[in-house]
């Protein structure tokens, strides 16, 4: 909202000249310094449990990246974390599928102009590519991470709210919103669950599990935040079923946890839940042939309370007589609103097994999205890229599982309007594989979007007002023509007349009209 007013208060200084009084305020705001997008390559190596002479065949590899800490230095942001790898392979006996879990720590540095110690830097990680190669009794692991960092500064900014004490003063003000973080909190919680696995699955052993967490609701009050949601767990088991050495089960584990917030109460609350570790174990159950599975999921919970404030700031000023006023502006990108976005859509791929042994029984598929393009339209986020697919299946004439890796293009639209979509993380779940023909397999999945989004404002703020001597304007009636995009305020300022007199002389004149005849009366 803008307001234009005339201040007729004249103030004489001791020297006999009129000097303006600049009104200032320390504006508490969160300034957006910038963002960077990069890649981190994480490598690891682990010894295989079998003999050196046993032939090893890697069937599939998955990885999960977890951020441990970020550190902001001068012109740099450092991110440290861990990548957990899960590998399915055969060793010696090509029909016996085994699993291996290994982890590798990483540290990734990003050059960041304007970054200073003490600033806040949220970082998001997404695994885009995984490799596992066996050689000499050791397994060599590699993961490529998509790393996105934003930097915010919470330092207050001295801004001009108005000017007083000049004859013929005209000033335009604008009410702007600003936001800052008032409280935050983070903690890790362990969520446990137990379920029965039916005898029909003929599960011999539970190999490993992956999981993602989705937030459904958050409630805050009394320096606390209660986060509720679901953990989507996908578990890989070794089975004795004919022609199905691997079976996959899916489980939903609800959670509701409360964490403390340190700071003041705010009027907005956003939160996130990230899976940091998953452990599963199964043993013989009460039902003959069945098994009881126990799962433990380590969740990293975080929440922040923010507060918004409307302030009336000077947007522009001039005088109809005397010295010229020159507002000094500074471009400032500031946070208007923080919110955590969680949404999902279903997708489908059709794989053509060109040149591969025919597929009799699809067992499982792992997918990883690689984003190549983002665009927003009509409240939708459109994502394009390549889907890295690893298919595990059985053939017609062998009990040895086969694997097939390929990349397929994908395009999906999510119902969300993100201000900063580059910080999103895509996580697949509910991956179902179905054989269509011997050389075609359909892969259905759900792709989840999680994004810590920040709505930004980029209006330049007036931080000072300078004076410049000017020649006295000759009184009289002037005739001029408006320029394209020129507002009533622009015309009045250019010829140093009041907006009221301009409007009285030209009642039909509208903002932005080009080539309109304008009559001015200058006293």
Q: How confident is the model at residue 17 (pLDDT cuts 50, 70, 90)?
A: low
Lowest mean pLDDT among 20-34, 135-149, 289-303, 379-393: 20-34
Does the residue 90 lie in any domain? no
Q: Of 108, 106, 110, 34, which is closest to residue 76 (Cα–Cα)?
A: 110
Going 72 to 73 to 74 to 76, the CA torsion angle's sign is negative
Task: Identify whether the C-beta of residue 426 lies closer than 8 Å to the C-beta of residue 369.
Answer: yes
Whether residue 483 lies inside any domain: the answer is: yes
Question: What is the predicted pLDDT for the residue at 58?
Answer: 96
Chain position carrying tokens 């008032």? 182
What is the predicted pLDDT for the residue at 176?
Answer: 87
Span 238-280, pLDDT tens digits: 999 988 999 999 999 999 999 999 888 888 888 999 999 999 9
130: helix, strand or coil: strand
* Distance, CA of 90 to CA of 56 (rounded, Å): 6
Q: Which has the higher per-residue pLDDT, 478 or 387?
A: 387
56 domain-assigned: no
**Quick one: pLDDT at residue 520?**
85
What is the extent of the structural domain holding 502?
473-523
pLDDT value at 363 more than 70: yes
What does the pLDDT average to over 470-492?
A: 84
Give the pLDDT band (50/70/90) at residue 79.
Answer: very high
Angle at 509 between CA 506 and CA 511, to 5 degrees: 140
Pairing mode, if any, of strands 291-319 and 169-197? antiparallel
Q: Concatenated DSSP letters for 353-373? A: -TTSPPPSEEEEEEEEEEEEE
**Which of 16-30, 240-254, 317-331 bottoms out in mean pLDDT, i.e. has the lowest?**
16-30
Q: Structural domain tally of the chain? A: 1
Residue position matching structure tokens 């080009």: 514
Q: Indicate if the pLDDT at residue 514 is higher than 80.
A: no
Predicted confidence at residue 10, as pLDDT, reads: 35
Q: Give the pLDDT confidence score for residue 18 in this predicted structure.
A: 58
User: CA torsion sign, 61 to 66 to 71 to 74?
Assistant: positive
Give the span between the Cα atoms of 324 and 57, in whole angstroms: 79
Q: Is the pLDDT of residue 11 over 50?
A: no
Is 322 among the domain residues?
A: no
pLDDT over 70, % of the chain: 96
Residue 487 lies in a domain: yes
pLDDT at 264: 81
Helix residue ranges, H only, 351-456: none
Dist. CA 349–CA 336, nearest whole Å: 39
* pLDDT tens digits along 275-286: 999 999 999 988
- Joined tokens for residue 516: 């309109």
pLDDT in tens, 115-127: 999 999 999 999 9
Is 423 domain-assigned?
A: no
User: pLDDT value at position 47?
Assistant: 93
Enter the tokens of residue 289.
Answer: 């042939």
Q: 499 in helix, strand or coil?
A: helix
Work out the mean pLDDT of the chain and round it to a whole number: 90
Alpha helix (H) ranges present in 297-355?
none
3-state secondary structure of 497: coil
Summarize the confidence of residues 77-104 as an average pLDDT: 95
List helix spans (H) across 312-420: none
- Quote the pLDDT of residue 13: 35
Band (9; pLDDT cuts 50, 70, 90):
very low
Query: Residue 514 maps to which CATH number?
Result: 3.10.350.10
Asked if residue 84 is part of any domain, the answer here is: no
Q: Of 128, 151, 134, 189, which is closest to residue 35 (Cα–Cα)?
A: 151
Q: Running DSSP on this structure, what letter comes out for residue 120?
A: B
At residue 36, the pLDDT reads 93
Q: Say if CB 112 and CB 75 are below 8 A apart.
A: yes
**Choice among 5-19, 43-57, 88-102, 188-202 with the minimum mean pLDDT:** 5-19
- What region does 421 belong to: left with phi over 0, alpha with psi -120 to 50, or beta? alpha
Q: What is the pLDDT of residue 308?
A: 86
pLDDT tens-digit map of 419-452: 888 889 999 999 999 999 999 999 999 999 999 9
Q: Is residue 455 part of a domain?
A: no
Confidence of residue 16 (pLDDT cuts 50, 70, 90): very low
**The predicted structure's pLDDT at residue 14:** 36
Burial of residue 327, with CB atoms counted within 10 A of its CB: 0-12 exposed, 13-18 middle, 19 or more buried: buried
- pLDDT tens, position by position, 42-69: 999 999 987 777 889 999 999 999 999 9
Q: What does the pLDDT read at residue 288?
A: 85
Q: Tell me the C-alpha to C-alpha distance, in Å, between residue 73 and each of 149, 156, 194, 474.
A: 13, 20, 45, 57
Cβ density class 75-88: b for 16+ within 10 Å, e for less: eebbbebbbbbbbb
């Amino acid at each position: 909202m803008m307001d234009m007013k005339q201040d007729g208060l004249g103030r004489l200084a001791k020297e006999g000249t009129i000097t303006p009084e600049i009104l200032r305020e320390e504006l508490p705001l969160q300034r957006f310094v910038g963002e960077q997008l990069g890649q981190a390559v994480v490598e690891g190596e682990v010894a295989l449990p079998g003999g050196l002479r046993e032939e090893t065949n890697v069937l599939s590899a998955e990885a999960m990246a977890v951020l441990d800490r970020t550190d902001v230095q001068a012109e740099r942001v450092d991110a440290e974390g861990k990548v957990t790898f899960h590998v399915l392979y055969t060793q010696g006996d090509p029909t016996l599928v085994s699993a291996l879990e290994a982890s590798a720590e990483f540290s990734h540095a990003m050059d960041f102009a304007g970054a200073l110690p003490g600033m806040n830097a949220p970082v998001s990680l997404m695994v885009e590519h995984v490799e596992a190669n066996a050689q000499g009794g050791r397994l060599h692991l590699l993961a490529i991470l998509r790393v996105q960092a934003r930097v915010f500064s919470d330092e207050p900014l001295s801004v001009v709210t108005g000017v007083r004490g000049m004859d013929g003063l005209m000033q335009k003000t604008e009410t702007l919103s600003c936001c800052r973080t008032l409280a935050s909190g983070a903690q890790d919680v362990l969520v446990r669950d137990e379920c029965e696995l039916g005898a029909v699955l003929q599960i011999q052993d539970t190999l490993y599990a992956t999981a993602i967490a989705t937030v459904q609701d958050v409630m805050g009050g009394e320096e606390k935040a209660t986060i509720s949601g679901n953990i989507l767990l996908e578990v890989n088991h070794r089975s004795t079923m004919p022609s199905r050495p691997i079976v996959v089960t899916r489980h939903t584990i609800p959670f509701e946890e409360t964490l403390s917030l340190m700071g003041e109460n705010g009027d907005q609350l956003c939160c996130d839940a990230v899976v940091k570790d998953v452990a599963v174990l199964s043993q013989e159950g009460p039902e003959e042939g069945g098994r009881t599975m126990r799962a433990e999921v380590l969740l990293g919970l975080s929440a922040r309370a923010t507060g918004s404030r409307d302030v009336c700031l000077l947007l522009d000023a001039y005088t109809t007589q005397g010295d010229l006023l020159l507002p000094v502006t500074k471009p400032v990108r500031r946070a208007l609103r923080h919110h955590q976005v969680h949404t999902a859509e279903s997708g489908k791929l059709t794989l053509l097994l060109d040149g591969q042994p025919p597929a009799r029984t699809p067992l499982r598929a792992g997918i990883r999205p690689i984003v190549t393009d983002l665009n927003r339209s009509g409240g939708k986020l459109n994502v394009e890229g390549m889907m890295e697919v690893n298919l595990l299946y059985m053939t017609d004439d062998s009990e040895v599982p086969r694997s097939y890796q390929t990349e397929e293009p994908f395009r999906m639209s999510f119902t969300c309007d993100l201000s900063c979509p580059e910080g999103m993380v895509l996580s697949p779940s509910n991956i179902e594989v179905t054989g269509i023909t011997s050389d075609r397999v359909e892969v259905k999945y759900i792709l989840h979007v999680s994004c810590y989004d920040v709505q930004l404002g980029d209006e330049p703020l007036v931080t000072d007002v300078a004076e410049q001597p000017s020649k006295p304007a000759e009184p009289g009636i002037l005739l001029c023509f408006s320029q394209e995009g020129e507002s009533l305020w622009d015309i009045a300022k250019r010829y140093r007349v009041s907006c009221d007199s301009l409007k009285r002389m030209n009642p039909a004149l509208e903002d932005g009209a080009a080539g309109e005849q304008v009559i001015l009366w200058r006293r």
